[in-house]
Amino acid sequence: MRFFKKCLNIYNERGISGLLSRAYHHTRVRPARKLIENVVQGNLKGAFSWLTQIFLRRDLYLWYAQQTNGSPSLFSTELGEMYLDPYDRGLSRELLIHGTRETETKEVFESELSKFRSSTDEQITIFEVGANLGWNVLVEYQVLNDQAQIIAFEPSPKNYEILLKNIELHGAQNNVETYQAAISAESGIADFEVTKKTNHSRIKTDKIRKEDNVIEDVIQVEQYSIDEFLQDQQLPPDSIDVLRLDVEGFEVEVFKGMMGVLESTHPMLIFIETHAGYIDDSDHEFVIDVLRENGFELVHASYDEVDSFEDELVYNVGMELVLKREGR
């Protein structure tokens, strides 16, 4: 019922072209389309990977990486060498095959970080919520260099171990402070679901998971709210300049725990990944309303049909958003 309601909303707002665009968004992850995209991009590793999946039902490139490397091992990426886990079917696999991810959004984020750097000689404080293996930590560090003051949170023990290795590998220890913890609406202890695709792990909720997100374990992790974390560190709400957030549908809880930050008036940049499959319409509207009411403007959305907050509410599909507030 919810699916048909969304289709009707899209049709009323955008007509048949909007419906076709939505269909493209959901089919472009198919192996055949991915094969074509990698051929066009000249990514032979990616093309070979998808070709073997189509015809052999097995990713031979990934199999080769597993047979010739330990876990984790060094692999070449767009940011330089990184420790990746060839047995991980999530982020490591994506970087191992493609060497990069979220290319268009990454370029927009880098451009906005560069503008931030040009506007001040002070350190730029970044909260990395869901730092995973450190891909975006390294993006931020390579743009800002010694101006970066990155606070990175990652609750998964395996991801956290690799995160530390990648920070040390790139010589960023003095600019990155790490916490093996999750971020939520309140501080305490939480049940954390560790999944086969490690970048899909998240705090346990009653939301239904996608079928490919196999839960391998449930562990207890420490969690903080951002407002309480800042208070414990004796820092004011306007201490955060940049927030990057990827928490697998837990965005609402994170926002509820950082209202002091969101309601402040200082300039701020946000890179958030939304997860439509894990969040209902009312929670999604809460996230968008909080951003809009506190002076944030949409800079970029990875879904072509979205140019405004109103579009985002209509389509409500998983995408990357870059937003900023100039200050009030």
Domain 103-182+235-325: state its class. alpha beta
pLDDT band per the 50, 70, 90 thresholds, residue 29? very low
Task: Collapse the DSSP code of 299 into the 3-class scheme (helix H, G, I; strand E, B; otherwise coil) and give the result.
Answer: strand
Q: Is 145 left (phi over 0), alpha (psi -120 to 50) or beta?
A: left
**How many alpha carbons lie under 13 Å from residue 19 in its C-beta half-sphere?**
11
Segment 89-108 mean pLDDT = 88
pLDDT tens per residue, range 285-327: 888 899 999 999 999 988 777 777 776 655 566 788 899 999 7
Summary mean pLDDT of the chain: 83
**How many alpha carbons lie under 13 Å from residue 15 in its C-beta half-sphere?**
1
Signed CA dihedral, 305, 265, 244, 256: sign only? negative
Task: Break the chain into its structural domains and give their ranges.
Answer: 1-68, 103-182+235-325
pLDDT tens per residue, range 245-283: 988 778 889 999 999 999 999 999 999 988 766 777 788
The whole-angstrom separation of Cα 185 and Cα 259 is 10
The whole-angstrom separation of Cα 168 and Cα 176 is 10
pLDDT at 187: 94
Q: Supply the pTM of this predicted model.
A: 0.83
Question: CB–CB of 202/192 below 8 Å?
Answer: yes
Q: Which residues have C-beta within 8 Å of that of residue 89, sequence separation ≥ 6?
A: 196, 197
The whole-angstrom separation of Cα 172 and Cα 197 is 26
Question: CB–CB of 300/111 below 8 Å?
Answer: no
pLDDT band per the 50, 70, 90 thresholds, residue 34? low
pLDDT at 78: 92
pLDDT at 16: 64
